A and B are shown apart, each in its own frame.
Chain A
């Protein structure tokens, strides 16, 4: 792929772009003319010592020896690819940090960039002192150590996680893909099927809900229907091959594929099998959805089908007309993505995007559409259709039914506006 980078992070990208501009390179059959402005243009006169025909400096001396980093970190040129944490929040104990979706490729979120939503800060838990208690409507109340949990037969699955408030319905709307839907990530999770653990204790008649509690300062509590617990719920101890990060619930979390993020209780310490939900503060006063008539939907578990174009997306800039790959992610809490449509003419017509295999249930799916930008203003957007046939709605369609105080479960299509100068902005903002 010879497409110029648009999001200019660091000298490497800058020098490559400079080279492209200076030489008028042929990309995808189209001559790409340089078109950068401001500080980047003023830097164009810098020396080209590391560019052809010269041999770059980093080939003329040995690199760093083995062992400089016992836990590898990204290149220093990628230092701006970090979590997107809102500034000037009143407090940061109950708060959220977003994944920089527009800077990532593929479907797997690196662990250090996985979004987080904490309700009472991130606890530091010694796994040797951590216990999981399973009690209530079971034959045999049990306590497990982490060693015990890891003795169960294990499984690994790729699932997305998404916060239910991602984003809200009211303006101001975010500028970037991360601002809009960055409370979304996807990982390979390893752990034990919750069903196996529940069977170990023996479910009694009348067991309809499992109340899960975290070992954080919020003692975060949500109730899970027993059907979900016996379907695909997991107790997870590893993420993308390594143990969970503290921000993701180390040493143990609940994983409920396709359900809103807050139910996937982190730092899991207790499972209380019950006939009724707990009706905890989180599932009555918080994660409920207020309708215009004053009623409120409760136990709204599923994250419905959704997609967003991450490249090009808000905050980026197209350096020149020519070939562009439009790329983004789609997902559905109700199963697999069936199709993703993309419009490049402000929603007047739609064409089917290519889906990157494998298309997995309740995981992110990467979609792509080859595109030739003619340099004219454009509005581009994507809509996901899942295997149930459900179509991702527009913001207007959602607002017409739910009103703007609904707050959660906004899965609207988000169009990006591209100006003649190549600037990409939120078309709804």
Chain B
């Protein structure tokens, strides 16, 4: 019977829909499935706990070499800053009139360092460093900030275990935090 196959197909679709009531309401049928390999190739997000960090490792010593070649031109020989951000120092300054925000003084989560370097650095050739080099240069920057010994090597586990000094200093958005009484007449004037 010529009609049988469309009926079976329709029934199969109906059964599929019934079997997955919580599933997507794919109203439009637009787009195609993303394969696991495609997702793995593009998903470079590393969260604050270090999930999705890649295999591999890198030492402070190797990181010094990578830093000198790839980073020092903008960030300074010791991470003191230049065209690029200052990366080192500033701990204890955040509550002063002249706060110095660096990886060591301000960044709350160490895995973010790997995530950012991998996706955006060096600025002239982002996503060009190997995972080993990113681990190494992360280790070196943490070392320059006194957060890792000179002989240390970083991998996914050890990077995730680092507690950054400023970790607990972030709070939610409490705005509106300022109230203007909206005076209409006889007001004090501007300033």
Contact = CB atoms under 8 A, between A and B. Distances in A.
Interface of A: 90-91, 93-94, 119-120, 133-135, 138-144, 148, 151-152, 196, 199-202, 211, 213, 217-219, 221, 269-270, 272, 274, 276, 278-281, 284-285, 288, 290, 292-302, 304, 341, 343, 346-350, 379, 381, 383, 385, 390-398, 400-402, 405, 409, 413, 415, 427
A199 B175 contact: no
Contacts of B24: 138-140, 199-202
Contacts of A135: 34, 39, 43
A316 B188 CA distance: 27
B179 A409 contact: no
Contacts of B94: 290, 294, 296
B44, B175, B183, B187 pick with most chain A CB within 10 angstroms: B175
A91, A274, A297, A398 pick with most chain B CB within 10 angstroms: A297
A270 B42 CA distance: 8
Nearest to B20: A139
A141 B33 contact: yes
A329 B185 CA distance: 23
Main secondary structure of the interface of B (DSSP, over half): loop
B33 A142 contact: yes
A351 B33 CA distance: 58
A217 B94 CA distance: 30
Interface residues of B, number: 63
A144 B173 contact: no
Contacts of A94: 123
Contact of B178 (A138, A272, A397): A397
Interface in B137-191: 169-191
B39 A295 contact: no
A140 B175 CA distance: 37
B45, B112, B186 pick with most chain A CB within 10 angstroms: B45
B4 interface: no
B31, B97, B106, B115 pick with most chain A CB within 10 angstroms: B31
Contact of A381 (B109, B178, B184, B190): B190
A189 B126 CA distance: 31
Given A221-B119, A383-B182, A391-B182, 19 more contacts: A119-B120, A120-B120, A133-B34, A134-B31, A140-B24, A141-B33, A142-B34, A221-B45, A278-B47, A294-B95, A295-B171, A296-B169, A302-B175, A350-B185, A390-B176, A393-B179, A393-B180, A402-B177, A402-B178
Nearest to A201: B24
Contact of B120 (A90, A217, A348): A217
A305 to B, nearest CB: 9
A298 B170 contact: yes
Nearest to B171: A295
Nearest to A153: B28
B47 A276 contact: yes
Contact of A120 (B123, B170, B178): B123
Contacts of B120: 119-120, 217-219, 281
A218 B119 contact: yes
Contacts of B173: 297-302
A141, A196, A218 pick with most chain B CB within 10 angstroms: A141
Nearest to B82: A90
B70 interface: no
B27, B44, B109, B120 pick with most chain A CB within 10 angstroms: B120
A347 B119 contact: no
Contacts of B127: 219
A139 B23 contact: yes
